[in-house]
Amino acid sequence: MRLKDRVAIITGAGQGIGRAYAFAFAREGAQVVVADLNEAKAKAVAEEVVAAGGRAIAVTVDVSDRHSVQAMVDATVTAFGTVHVLVNNAAVFATLTMKPFEEISVEEWDRVLAVNSRGTFLCCQAVAPVMRANKYGRIVNISSSVVQTGRAHYAHYVASKGAVWALTHALATELGTDGITVNSISPHGIVTEVPRGTITDDQWAGILADQALKRKGEVSDMVGATLFLASDDSKYMTGQTLGVDAGLRYT
């Protein structure tokens, strides 16, 4: 019960890794806000969490929109009284088509950065006053190993996650005096139920060859690290980016 009576907002929690976070946080005693752009998926996950004995509500949110994000935080405070934990999990990823950077349109670039970078910024900005009032907070941002590998044909995604990594360091400095920690996770090779057409079998073989652990990542591999950063187990850590990457070789 590492998160007993804590209130946690998890964005992008309607499926995949975010859904796993919702269940794991509830099992650890948190009151969970399942936030997602897809209202039906958010409600379904929240109902499943409640049916399993947890406490959860569903909130529809577009993280790229300031008013929508503020409404999410307001709904959380109305339901549970405060916010202790924010997991910035929502991102544009699985639907992206890999292409040379010259072929990425301005519209596609803006869409990816609006969700992945601006969305993280807006969510942090919206919860900060509540956390500052509490003199306590745990913010966990999700970056990516591609920031270090510079994966080709993914320039918009790499740039968006690089911004998340940098923002984590900046906010850790600004929020630390109020007892708020800000850390990020850099995952690699995590497979979810969400279809992805960006990696072929041959590419997977090459990826696994560069890993110390010779297997694909599972959703459960992300849960432990995220719970660690969301709980008081990591209370003396901030401004850090934790690699959950199977020992990926970056050089």
Q: What pLDDT was estimated at residue 167?
A: 98
Q: What confidence tier does 205 reach under pLDDT thresholds 50, 70, 90?
A: confident
Structural domain harbouring 93: 7-244
The whole-model pTM stands at 0.94
Average pLDDT rounded to a whole number, residues 15-40: 97
Q: What is the pLDDT of residues 152-186, one digit of tens each?
A: 899 999 999 999 999 999 999 999 999 999 999 99
pLDDT at 195 over 70: no
Q: What is the pLDDT of residues 31-73, one digit of tens each?
A: 999 999 999 999 999 999 999 999 999 999 999 999 999 999 9
Q: For residue 177, is it within any domain?
A: yes
Pairing of strands 31-36, 7-11: parallel
Q: What pLDDT was estimated at residue 221?
A: 93
Number of domains in the chain: 1
Q: At 206, which amino acid appears? A: G
Q: For residue 2, is it within any domain?
A: no
pLDDT at 196 over 70: no
CA–CA distance, 166 with 80 (Å, rounded to integer)? 31
Q: What is the pLDDT of residues 91-149, one digit of tens each?
A: 998 888 889 999 999 999 999 999 999 999 999 999 999 999 999 999 999 999 999 98
Q: What pLDDT was estimated at residue 129?
A: 98
Q: For residue 159, is it within any domain?
A: yes
The CATH number of residue 151's host domain is 3.40.50.720
pLDDT at 239 over 90: yes
Average pLDDT rounded to a whole number, residues 7-28: 97
Q: For residue 249, is it within any domain?
A: no
Supply the residues annotated as catalytic.
157
Average pLDDT rounded to a whole number, residues 198-214: 82
Q: Which residues contact 58 (CB under 8 A, 6 or more apart)?
A: 33, 34, 35, 36, 39, 42, 43, 45, 46, 47
Q: For residue 251, is it within any domain?
A: no
pLDDT at 190 over 70: yes
Q: What confidence tier does 202 reach under pLDDT thresholds 50, 70, 90?
A: confident
Q: What pLDDT was estimated at residue 197?
A: 61
Q: What pLDDT was estimated at residue 250?
A: 82
pLDDT at 235 over 70: yes
More confident residue, 189 or 134: 134
Q: For residue 224, is it within any domain?
A: yes
pLDDT at 77 over 80: yes
